[in-house]
């Protein structure tokens, strides 16, 4: 059983259906008690960083998430669920995150260009991931595979060894992280077709 946290921010049904497609039961829950007993935990998210942190706090999820991470059991963050792991974000001010991964969340620079053309923000659509760590989450995923992104901010880990993949969009940015039992992707595996399904299947096997 894979537990997906419902804190009012994210398209949870698509994550649940993607896990089911690769043969795993996924339970969507808004009950912190379910997080306490989860074997594998998924934190998805879309929207504003501060709103998500407020919802996690108001829902009583923060301490159960931290205890799950400390227990060594597998954890997967998706999109904003990656950003929330970090120390702080500069989205609409400066806001504290969960502090699990040292580092910050910053906005893409203005006036990024590629091939003479200005790049739009948010970064939206398909882009390549360059694998920096050979980890179980990417078993069977070819380096340079395409994944689906929708975001205006990206993470900057203090420790470069936390970077699992990098992606180029005007700049090279960290598109996923891995530290011990904590894994998280800026891209959406549930929207990334076969590559994403392979990643979710790999997570289910951990």
Q: Which residues are catalytic?
A: 79, 188, 190
Helix (H, G, I), strand (E, B), or coil: what is residue 92?
Answer: coil
Between CA 167 and CA 175 the distance in angstroms is 6
Between CA 146 and CA 127 the distance in angstroms is 5
Q: In the numeric block, which tokens belong to residue 159?
A: 């420790």
Beta strand 101-107 with 153-157 is antiparallel
Which residue bears the tokens 């997080």?
35
Between CA 46 and CA 152 the distance in angstroms is 11
Q: Cβ contacts of residue 71 below 8 Å, gap of 6+?
A: none
């Amino acid at each position: 059983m894979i537990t997906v946290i419902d804190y009012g921010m994210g398209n949870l049904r698509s994550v649940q259906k993607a896990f089911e497609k690769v043969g795993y039961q996924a339970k969507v829950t808004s009950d912190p008690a379910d997080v306490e007993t989860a074997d594998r935990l998924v934190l998805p998210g879309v929207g504003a960083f501060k709103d998500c942190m407020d919802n996690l706090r108001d829902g009583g999820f923060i301490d159960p998430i931290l205890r799950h991470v400390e227990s060594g059991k597998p954890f997967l963050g998706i999109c904003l669920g990656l950003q929330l792991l970090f120390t702080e974000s500069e989205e609409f001010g400066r806001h504290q995150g969960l502090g699990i991964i040292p580092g910050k969340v910053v906005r893409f620079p203005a006036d990024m260009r590629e091939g003479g053309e200005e790049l739009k923000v948010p970064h939206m659509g398909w882009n390549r991931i360059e694998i920096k760590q050979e980890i179980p989450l990417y078993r069977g995923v070819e380096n340079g595979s395409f994944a689906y992104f929708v975001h205006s901010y990206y993470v900057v880990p203090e420790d470069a060894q936390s970077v699992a993949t990098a992606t180029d969009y005007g700049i090279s940015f960290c598109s996923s992280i891995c530290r011990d039992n904590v894994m998280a992707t800026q891209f959406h595996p549930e929207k990334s077709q076969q590559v994403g399904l392979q990643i979710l299947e790999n997570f289910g096997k951990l």
